[in-house]
Amino acid sequence: MPALDERYSRQILFPGIGLEGQRKLAGSRIAIVGCGATGSVLSSLLVRAGVGYVRIIDRDYIEPSNLQRQVLFDEQDAAESLPKAIAASRKLQQINSTVTIEPHVEDLTPANCDDLLEATDLVLDGTDNFETRYLLNEYAIREHRPWIYTAAVGSYGVTMNILPAEDASSTGATACLACVFPHPPTGATETCDTGGILNSAVNLIASIAVTEAMKWLVGDHLRMRRTLLSFDAWHNDHSEIRASQPSPNCTVCGQHQFPYLSGRAHPHISLCGRNSVQIHERHRPIRFAELETRLSPHGEVRYTEYVLKFLRSPYELTLFPDGRAIIKGTTDIGVARSFYARFIGS
Binding site for Zn ion (CB under 5 A): 176, 178-179, 246, 250, 252-253
Q: What is the C-alpha separation between 310 and 292, in angstroms, rounded?
A: 9
Which residue of this chain has its Cβ atom nearest to Zn ion in the complex? 250
Q: How far is the CB of 260 from Zn ion (least distance, A)?
A: 13
Q: How far is the CB of 161 from Zn ion (least distance, A)?
A: 13
Nearest residue (CB) to Zn ion, 250 versus 319: 250
Nearest residue (CB) to Zn ion, 179 versus 286: 179
Q: How far is the CB of 147 from Zn ion (least distance, A)?
A: 13
Nearest residue (CB) to Zn ion, 138 versus 212: 138
Nearest residue (CB) to Zn ion, 175 versus 286: 175
Q: How far is the CB of 244 from Zn ion (least distance, A)?
A: 12
Q: How far is the CB of 149 from Zn ion (least distance, A)?
A: 12
Nearest residue (CB) to Zn ion, 162 versus 307: 162
Nearest residue (CB) to Zn ion, 105 versus 253: 253
Q: How far is the CB of 163 from Zn ion (least distance, A)?
A: 12
Nearest residue (CB) to Zn ion, 25 versus 178: 178
Q: How far is the CB of 251 from Zn ion (least distance, A)?
A: 8
